[in-house]
């Protein structure tokens, strides 16, 4: 048991979790392990502070703690200072390996061969609590007993896991759950009026979208995408297309995405297919206060990144839908992202000086082209745009672990061009490649890789070299994002959401500049700590009321959709 803590409290809340809403605490059960005290509080007894001690010498333990910490926020309680989340540590212990029953509390208990308390039988109560339909069906005592059973199970799990937990780094990971709770609490402001109209008319809008976009292609039959018609269109336009081993066209969204980049004529079809396939507008979780909120699913991805639901989260794959983001009157939102984050991480951690110079130039893609002697040293983006784009795609291809064939498809050039680009990368950044090879060798020799703060990827059977190489940059990018989220939310910044390598923050119009400055400072500090002094730059895009958030990638599709709305009720674009 960690001696540095005078008290260790194991906590569980039961709460309602309605789509888009903040959690609604129903009860709390906690056990303080040193004294053996137990706390069972119904929601009307929760008060203004936790019933147990708080401070840096109290260890707060909860399974998937952002849920409990969301309840803390709703209650107005101060955040715990030291948070240990056995869920995260269980994920870290098993990341990359199969588990017998997933990563839930039940799954972790099963993994350690511990009594699983018959949790399966309580599914009905769990659903009733989460959906807010427990009243009249379950008595408070039964719900408290259920909650206490979870606490007791968590205590058993904690004792089993403690010898395998690297506590200081586990607490850093736990600290992020407070930041995640803050971001989930704030949510993303949404133009609910337009959303309602979109939802009302979505079925017919889809048909009209097909009719409007498919005019160019002629591949839809009703709502059915006809593969043979698509193949004819590709042949007529001289566009090569990846095939599956079976010989059929590869119609995955990833292929459409890559091809749309190389052949812009494909972009509208990709957006249409993506919208038809993935967009379930009713799933977008928007609360009564007009904020999109969903569980961020922290640490769910192998890289340790968040993995929120694509359909519930406004920053899901349908980029055009992001124009629904609109600050409330008197407010602004700012999208702050790290510039070329993965390139910067690779440059810093590999120690490749040429790569670091390229990053610090402000335009690493053009700098790479210059370092490879493909453009003159005084070349600028305006006059060497196409060459820069090729080198940019090469950098991205290396980050994704692509080979020459995939890069050739992506840039719409013969394989030999792709092959030469990849070779130029190897020759320009040899230290990076030695480091990347070393990471792969380390993974295969030791069966694991780790980030700067100890998030691990275990190597199971049939390891994928591409994903192993990729892990170091992705995993450390996740570390950076988490640390920046901690610094920002602890500083009091209203962070609405994390988005891969960026954050959306919200502030009153008169405070937005100061908020952006503080956010950028937090992101700079986080990058400097993760990269041992190598600071990454950030860029900002501000949206002030009454404007709506703009992502140029979705502009065409948004305009199409908005133009389909007027004959219902005129939308304000």
Partner 1 sequence: MTDPSSAPDRKPGLDPQASTPDPFDPANLRLSQSFIETAGVKKLLTTVPVRKPGQQDFVRVHPDPAYRENFPIIEVKDEREEYIVTNELVPALIGEFVTKTLFTAINRQGTIFFWPVRLPAPDGKNLDWWRSSREAAELAMGTWIRVRANMNLGAYDIFKADGVIPDPEWPPLGFWELIKIAFRDHLVDRVDHPVIKRLRGRL
Q: What residues line the site for partner 1 (CB under 8 A)?
A: 82, 168-169, 171-172, 348-351, 353, 356, 373-374, 423, 427-428, 430-431, 434-439, 441-442, 445, 450-454, 472, 476, 483, 525, 528-534
In whole angstroms, the minimum distance from the beta carbon of 486 to partner 1 comes to 8
Segment 238-247 long-range contacts (CB within 8 Å, at least 24 positions apart)? 239/263, 239/265, 239/266, 240/409, 242/409
Nearer to partner 1, 437 or 539 (CB): 437
Nearer to partner 1, 395 or 483 (CB): 483
Contact 29, 12 (CB under 8 A): yes
Nearer to partner 1, 29 or 93 (CB): 93
DSSP 8-state assignment for residue 36: -
Nearer to partner 1, 233 or 429 (CB): 429
Nearer to partner 1, 213 or 347 (CB): 347
Contact 342, 293 (CB under 8 A): no
Q: How many CB atoms lie within 10 A of CB 347?
A: 26
Nearer to partner 1, 9 or 28 (CB): 9
Contact 57, 4 (CB under 8 A): yes
DSSP 8-state assignment for residue 45: G
What is the distance between the alpha carbons of residues 411 and 392, in angstroms, rounded to a whole number? 10
SS (H, E, C) 508-538: ECCCHHHHHHHHHHHHHHHHHHHCCCCCCCE
Rg of the chain's alpha carbons, rounded to an integer?
25
What is the distance between the alpha carbons of residues 535 and 526, in angstroms, rounded to a whole number? 8
Nearer to partner 1, 346 or 408 (CB): 346
In whole angstroms, the minimum distance from the beta carbon of 91 to partner 1 comes to 18
Nearer to partner 1, 129 or 372 (CB): 372
What is the distance between the alpha carbons of residues 343 and 136, in angstroms, rounded to a whole number? 56
In whole angstroms, the minimum distance from the beta carbon of 281 to partner 1 comes to 40
Positive or negative torsion for Cα 466, 472, 475, 481: negative
Nearer to partner 1, 69 or 172 (CB): 172
Positive or negative torsion for Cα 347, 352, 357, 361: negative
Nearer to partner 1, 532 or 552 (CB): 532
User: Pick from 135, 142, 154: which is nearest to 68 by CA?
Assistant: 154
Nearer to partner 1, 136 or 533 (CB): 533
Nearer to partner 1, 335 or 455 (CB): 455
Q: Which residues of 518-549 are buried (b: 16+ CB within 10 A; e: fewer)?
A: bbbebbbebbbbbbeebbbbbebebbebeebb
Contact 274, 421 (CB under 8 A): no
Element (H, E) at 506: strand 502-508
In whole angstroms, the minimum distance from the beta carbon of 452 to partner 1 comes to 5
What is the distance between the alpha carbons of residues 303 and 478, in angstroms, rounded to a whole number? 7
In whole angstroms, the minimum distance from the beta carbon of 168 to partner 1 comes to 5
Determine phi and psi for 224, rounding to 5 degrees.
-95, 130
What is the distance between the alpha carbons of residues 473 and 19, in angstroms, rounded to a whole number? 33
∠ CA 252-297-542, rounded to 5°: 80
Determine phi and psi for 517, rounding to 5 degrees.
-60, -40
Structure tokens at 181: 């709770």
In whole angstroms, the minimum distance from the beta carbon of 439 to partner 1 comes to 4
Nearer to partner 1, 171 or 557 (CB): 171
Contact 298, 486 (CB under 8 A): no
Alpha helix stretches (DSSP H) within 162-191: 167-186
What is the distance between the alpha carbons of residues 211 and 520, in angstroms, rounded to a whole number? 44
In whole angstroms, the minimum distance from the beta carbon of 369 to partner 1 comes to 12
Nearer to partner 1, 125 or 167 (CB): 167
In whole angstroms, the minimum distance from the beta carbon of 347 to partner 1 comes to 9
Tell me how far apart the terminal alpha carbons of the chain are, to the nearest angstrom: 58
What is the distance between the alpha carbons of residues 170 and 168, in angstroms, rounded to a whole number? 5
Nearer to partner 1, 99 or 442 (CB): 442
DSSP 8-state assignment for residue 552: G
What one-character-per-residue DSSP string does 231-258 give?
HHHHHHTT----B-TTSSB---HHHHHH
């Amino acid at each position: 048991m960690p001696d540095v803590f005078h008290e260790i409290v194991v906590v569980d809340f039961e709460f309602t979790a309605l789509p888009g809403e903040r959690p609604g605490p129903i009860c709390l059960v906690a056990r303080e392990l040193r004294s053996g005290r137990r706390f069972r509080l119904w929601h009307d007894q929760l008060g203004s502070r936790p019933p147990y001690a708080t401070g840096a010498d109290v260890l707060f333990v909860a399974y998937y703690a952002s849920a409990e910490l969301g309840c803390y926020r709703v209650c107005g309680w101060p955040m715990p200072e030291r948070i240990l989340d056995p869920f995260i540590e269980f994920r870290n212990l098993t990341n990359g390996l199969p588990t017998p029953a997933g990563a839930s509390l039940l799954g972790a208990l099963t993994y350690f061969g511990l009594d699983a308390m018959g949790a399966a039988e309580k599914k009905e109560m769990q659903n009733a609590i989460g959906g807010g339909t427990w009243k009249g069906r379950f008595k408070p005592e039964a719900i408290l007993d259920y909650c206490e059973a979870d606490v007791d199970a968590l205590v058993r799990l904690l004792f089993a896991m403690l010898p395998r937990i690297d506590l200081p780094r586990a607490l850093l990971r736990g600290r992020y759950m407070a930041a995640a709770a803050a971001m989930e609490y704030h949510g993303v402001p949404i133009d609910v009026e337009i959303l309602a109209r979109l939802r009302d008319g979505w079925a017919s809008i889809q048909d009209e979208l097909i009719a409007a976009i498919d005019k160019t292609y002629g591949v839809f039959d009703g709502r059915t995408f006809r593969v043979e018609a698509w193949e004819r269109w590709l042949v007529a336009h001289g566009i090569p297309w990846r095939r599956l081993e079976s010989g059929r066209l590869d119609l995955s969204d990833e292929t459409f995405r890559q091809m749309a980049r190389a052949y812009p004529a494909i972009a509208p079809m990709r957006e249409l297919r993506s919208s038809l396939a993935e967009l379930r507008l009713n799933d977008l979780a928007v609360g009564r206060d007009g904020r999109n909120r969903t569980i961020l699913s922290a640490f769910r991805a192998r890289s340790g990144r968040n993995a929120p639901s694509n359909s519930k989260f406004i920053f899901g794959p349908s980029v055009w839908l992001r124009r629904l983001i609109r600050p409330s009157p008197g407010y602004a939102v700012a999208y702050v992202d790290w510039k070329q984050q993965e390139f910067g991480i690779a440059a810093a951690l590999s120690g490749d000086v040429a790569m670091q110079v390229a990053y610090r130039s402000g335009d690493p893609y053009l700098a790479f082209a210059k370092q490879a002697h493909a453009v003159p040293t005084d070349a600028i983006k305006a006059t060497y745009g196409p060459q820069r784009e090729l080198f940019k795609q090469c950098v991205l291809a290396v980050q994704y672990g692509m080979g020459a064939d995939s890069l050739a498809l992506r840039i719409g050039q013969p394989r030999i061009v792709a092959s030469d680009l990849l070779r130029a990368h190897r020759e320009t950044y040899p230290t990076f490649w030695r480091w990347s090879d070393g990471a792969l060798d380390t993974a295969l020799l030791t069966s694991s890789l780790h980030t700067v703060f100890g998030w691990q990827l275990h190597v199971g059977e049939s390891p994928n070299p591409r994903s192993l190489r990729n892990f170091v940059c992705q995993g450390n990018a996740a570390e950076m994002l988490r640390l920046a989220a901690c610094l920002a939310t602890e500083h009091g910044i209203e962070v609405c959401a994390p988005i891969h390598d960026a954050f959306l923050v919200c502030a009153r119009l008169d405070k937005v500049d100061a908020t952006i400055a503080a956010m950028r400072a937090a992101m700079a500090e986080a990058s400097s700590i993760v990269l041992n002094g190598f600071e990454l730059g950030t860029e900002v895009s501000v949206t002030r009321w009454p404007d709506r958030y703009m992502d140029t990638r979705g502009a065409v599709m948004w305009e199409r959709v908005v133009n389909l709305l007027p004959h219902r009720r005129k939308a304000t674009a």
